[in-house]
Amino acid sequence: MNSKPLLDVQNLVTEFGSIKDPLRVVNGISFSIYEGETIGLVGESGSGKSVTCLSAMNLLPTARVSGSVRWKSESVLDAPRHRHQSWMGKEMAMIFQSPQASFNPVFTIGYQFIETIQAHHRVSKPVAKQMAIELLKQVNIPDPELRMSDYPHQFSLGMCQRMMIALTLSMSPSLLIADEPTASLDVTIQAQVMALIEDIKQTHPLSVLLISHDLGLVAQYCDRVMVMYLGDIVESGPTVDVFQNPQHPYTISLLQSIPSTNPHHRVRPVPIMGDIPSPKHRPSGCPFNPRCPLKTSRCVSERPSITTEQHRHHVACFESALYQG
């Protein structure tokens, strides 16, 4: 594996609200993504997963984002507009949970595909049209030639999601950030979407940052996983290590809170005690301490930090044997 990361994020902090009364949503996190790897980002709703990705891509004009984000060693946060635009789509691409919103409702799908393909590849209109039809075929859109003249609202949500992924991947990005790309899809289509991403990875060195609530999907497709809680990464490491030997009490609770799909091993899911607090009421010390069954007085007074060295299992919990603080 290449020793230089594609994307290197150090001490990323994202705040909304006024400077006097800031709302800190991402609390100084660090991570790197290397060529060809698939990384999962998991955590309860509101933990800051989407804001982390949008901040790293410098797509949050209303937020205050600080720290360092480097794309192939170039600073993303300080990049001039034209440089940033040249990365978006071509090098880093992001797909969102609501695909219908990503297409423009007033243009046909064919028009939008041909425009995007021509913006990224030097090809004539008839060639772009043929490429578009091929892409639609690849993601199993029936009668692609005919459907080119349809508008986004004439497709199902699953079809829109598959078309959006096909269009994004047609730009051959090096990094795909997929924010819950399969959340609104049924399991068969989820499998197709992930298979499509895997197929592309066979022919093109694509790195993927997959945000998902589906821990099964993450277990199946991700080389590494990062667990986020209230704006902090509380545990990270190779997916097998983190899922088979979880260290942070939050990761343990998260894994226990999902229903088992194994019919021979039916364990009743245990909901996580209490709710995730609002970032406005961030607890002192470890962010998980108000909900943690293992909490000690140190967890209330001191915040455990996580080391950022690559490819090992890391945890931000004083009580874990792996803690290196």
Ligand X SMILES: Nc1ncnc2c1ncn2[C@@H]1O[C@H](COP(=O)(O)OP(=O)(O)OP(=O)(O)O)[C@@H](O)[C@H]1O
Task: List residues binding ligand X (CB under 6 A).
Answer: 16, 23, 25, 43, 45-51, 62, 279
Nearer to Mg ion, 213 or 311 (CB): 213
Contact between 14 and Mg ion by CB under 5 A: the answer reads no
Q: How many CA atoms lie within 13 A of 111 on its CB side?
A: 10
Contact between 50 and Mg ion by CB under 5 A: the answer reads yes
| Contacting range for Mg ion; rule: CB under 5 A; set: 46-54, 123-131, 229-237, 277-285 | 46-54
Nearer to ligand X, 16 or 323 (CB): 16
Q: How far is the CB of 51 from ligand X (least distance, A)?
A: 3
| Contacting range for Mg ion; rule: CB under 5 A; set: 45-53, 87-95, 270-278, 290-298 | 45-53
Q: Which does 25 bind (CB under 5 to 8 A by kind): ligand X, Mg ion, none?
A: ligand X
Cα(64)–Cα(196) distance, integer angstroms: 35
Q: How far is the CB of 50 from Mg ion (least distance, A)?
A: 3
Using CB under 5 A as the binding criterion, the count of chain residues that bind Mg ion stands at 1
Q: How far is the CB of 132 from ligand X (least distance, A)?
A: 31
| Contacting range for Mg ion; rule: CB under 5 A; set: 49-57, 191-199, 261-269, 299-307 | 49-57
Q: Identify any residues that bridge with 29 across adjacent strands, giving them in sequence order.
A: 12
Residue 271, token pair as written in the block: 């909901």
Count of residues for the chain? 325
Nearer to ligand X, 55 or 239 (CB): 55
Cα(138)–Cα(151) distance, integer angstroms: 19
Nearer to Mg ion, 50 or 320 (CB): 50
Nearer to ligand X, 48 or 158 (CB): 48
Nearer to ligand X, 34 or 288 (CB): 288
Cα(216)–Cα(156) distance, integer angstroms: 25
